A and B are shown apart, each in its own frame.
Chain A
C-alpha cells in the first residue's frame, strides 16, 4: 500500500463530490438537496486544504477554505429561508413537484 499522499485526499473528496451530486439529483426533499450542496462544498474544501499542504502554498488554501465555510453558512441561512417560503407557498418542500419554471 502506498504511503498516503495528495491523491488519497483527492479521491476522498471526489467521492464526497459524487455523493453530494447524487443527493442533489435524486432526492425529492429540498432539505436533503441542501445537504447535498453542503457535501459538495466540503469536497471542494478538502481539495483546497490538500493542495495548500502538498503544493507549498502556505496558508492561502486554508484561508480559501475558511471563506468557503463562511459562504456556506450564509448560503445555508438563505436557502432555509427560501425553503420556508416554499413551504408556505406550496405546503410542502418537494422539489419534484415545483415546476412553475415550465410556465
Chain B
C-alpha cells in the first residue's frame, strides 16, 4: 500500500464519513460543520487527481462562500437561542429502499464497466493552463458565467428584499 493509496483512503473516509454525518445529524448547525469536513475531503481528492487549482477553488468557494451562506440561512430562519429546528425524517422507508437500490446499481455499474484508462501526464501546475483555456477555448462560457453570476446577485438581492419593501 503506497502512500498515495493511504492518502486516498484517508480522504475518502473523511469525505464519505462526514457526508453520512451531514445527512444523519440532528443539529442543523452541526450538519453544516460536517459539511465543511466533506468539502475538505473532496478537495483532498482533487489534489490526488492532479487538480490543484480546482482543489483550491473548492476550498475557497465552497468553504469560504457557500457554507457561510448556508450558515447565514440557518441563523436567519431559525431562532438560535431557542433552537426549534424540525429535524424529523420523512419518507424514510421509500427513501432508504430507493437509494439503496440506486446505490447498488450505480456502484455495480462503476465497478463492472471496463473503463478505457488512458492516464496522461500529470501536469506540475494547472493554473497557467486553465487560465489560458479560460480566455481562449472557453471564453464564451466564461463570459456567460460572469453574466449569470451578476444576474444571480441581482435576483437574489431583489427576491430577498421584496417582502420588506411592502
Contacts and interface: CB of A to CB of B under 8 A. Distances in A.
**A/B contact in complex, CB under 8 angstroms:** yes
A74 interface: yes
Interface residues on A, range: 35 or more
Given A34-B70, A35-B70, A74 B91 contact: no
A9 B49 contact: yes
A25 B130 CA distance: 36
B49 A53 contact: yes
A1 B54 contact: no
Interface residues on B, range: 35 or more
Contacts of B57: 66, 69
Chain B residues touching A, majority SS: helix
Interface string B1-21: 110110011001001100110
B80 interface: no
B119 A53 contact: yes
A35 B31 contact: yes
Interface of A: 1, 3-12, 14-23, 25-32, 34-36, 38-39, 42, 45-46, 49-50, 52-56, 58-60, 62-63, 65-67, 69-78, 80-85, 87-89, 92-94, 96
Given A9-B49, A23-B22, A28-B88, 17 more contacts: A4-B9, A6-B117, A8-B12, A14-B103, A20-B19, A35-B70, A49-B46, A54-B117, A54-B119, A55-B118, A59-B126, A65-B54, A66-B53, A72-B61, A75-B152, A81-B159, A88-B163
